[in-house]
């Protein structure tokens, strides 16, 4: 199975880029984040024409997560047990489905905004709840095939940002966020980093100030796998080429690149 994750930054704006890449990359399952549309607005037909089933949860022009699979979709779950709410509303940030025996969770972790924002506390609560729930899944079945994938809005190490001094007092790099990520990673290892180690293996580049051509990015998109899933990973990569601008007159790319893994 070839499994990928991609923060598409508006699926309706980038449907042609996404489906074209799916075809070229021969992807079996794609988890998407930041779809920015309601369920009834999601462009299902282009996926269906390529043989993909799609599940999606979204209620506004913000957030939104989806899973497209050509190897089946069962046991769909919107949100995980204990997922916190924001301003008394459950946001569209987590979607689970079983695809050919693999439990895939498309996750869009809250941004946190600023370290003194209530959204930062919400982000830490969200991550703590995910850790507790995911740990429970492994306790129930240590051999479960689980993939926690998506935009984590955390750069776990200093080398995961182009200049740590630029972000020193910002979210994404604070020790509480990194500790929350490490707590999840302790049970669900990062299965991509062994294939793409070292600095500058970024997954996100801001649109401003020519960040992409200047190689000024962040590594914030990850595939974390249960131990049984990690054993199956034969290859993984960050598909940086999909962040490059397309032909003149076409929509700009997402500010994130896809991340993919091959399971044997």
Q: Which residues are annotated as a binding site for Mg(2+)?
A: 7, 34, 151, 153, 255-256
How far is the C-alpha of 48 from the C-alpha of 71, rounded, in Å? Answer: 13
Give the CA count within 13 Å in the CB-facing half-sphere of 64: 22
Task: Point out the catalytic residue in the list 122, 190, 204, 256.
Answer: 256
Whether 172 is catalytic is no
Task: Point out the catalytic residue in the list 28, 151, 160, 221.
Answer: 151
CB 223 within 8 A of CB 236: yes
| Buried residues in 128-163 as b, exposed as e (16+ CB within 10 A) | ebbbeebeebbeeeeebbbbbbbbbbbbbeeebbbe
- Known binding residues: 7, 34, 151, 153, 255-256
Whether 56 is catalytic is no
Task: Point out the catalytic residue in the list 28, 52, 108, 190.
Answer: 108
Q: Which residue has the tokens 């049984």?
A: 228
Whether 256 is catalytic is yes
Q: Which residues are catalytic?
A: 108, 151, 256
């Amino acid at each position: 199975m070839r499994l990928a994750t991609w923060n598409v930054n508006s699926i309706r704006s980038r449907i042609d880029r996404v489906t074209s890449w799916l075809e070229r990359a021969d992807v079996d399952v794609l988890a998407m984040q930041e779809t920015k549309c309601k369920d009834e607005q999601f462009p299902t037909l282009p996926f269906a024409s390529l043989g993909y089933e799609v599940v999606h949860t979204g209620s506004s022009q913000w957030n939104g997560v989806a899973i497209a699979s050509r190897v089946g979709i069962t046991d769909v779950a919107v949100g995980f047990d204990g997922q916190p709410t924001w301003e008394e509303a459950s946001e569209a940030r987590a979607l689970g489905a079983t695809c050919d025996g693999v439990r895939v969770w498309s996750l869009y972790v809250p941004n946190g905004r600023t370290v003194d924002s209530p959204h930062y506390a919400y982000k830490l609560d969200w991550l703590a709840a995910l850790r507790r729930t995911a740990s429970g899944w492994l306790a129930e079945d240590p051999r479960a095939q689980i993939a926690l994938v998506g935009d984590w809005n955390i750069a776990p190490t200093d080398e995961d940002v182009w200049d740590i001094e630029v972000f020193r007092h910002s979210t994404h790099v604070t020790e509480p966020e990194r500790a929350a990520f490490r707590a999840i990673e302790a049970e669900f290892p990062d299965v991509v980093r062994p294939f793409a180690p070292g600095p500058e293996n970024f997954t996100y580049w801001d649109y401003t100030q020519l960040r992409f051509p200047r190689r000024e990015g962040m590594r914030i998109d990850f595939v974390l796998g249960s131990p049984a899933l990690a054993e199956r990973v034969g290859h993984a990569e960050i598909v940086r080429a999909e962040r490059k601008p397309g032909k003149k007159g076409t929509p700009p790319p997402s500010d994130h690149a896809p991340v993919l893994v091959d399971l044997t």
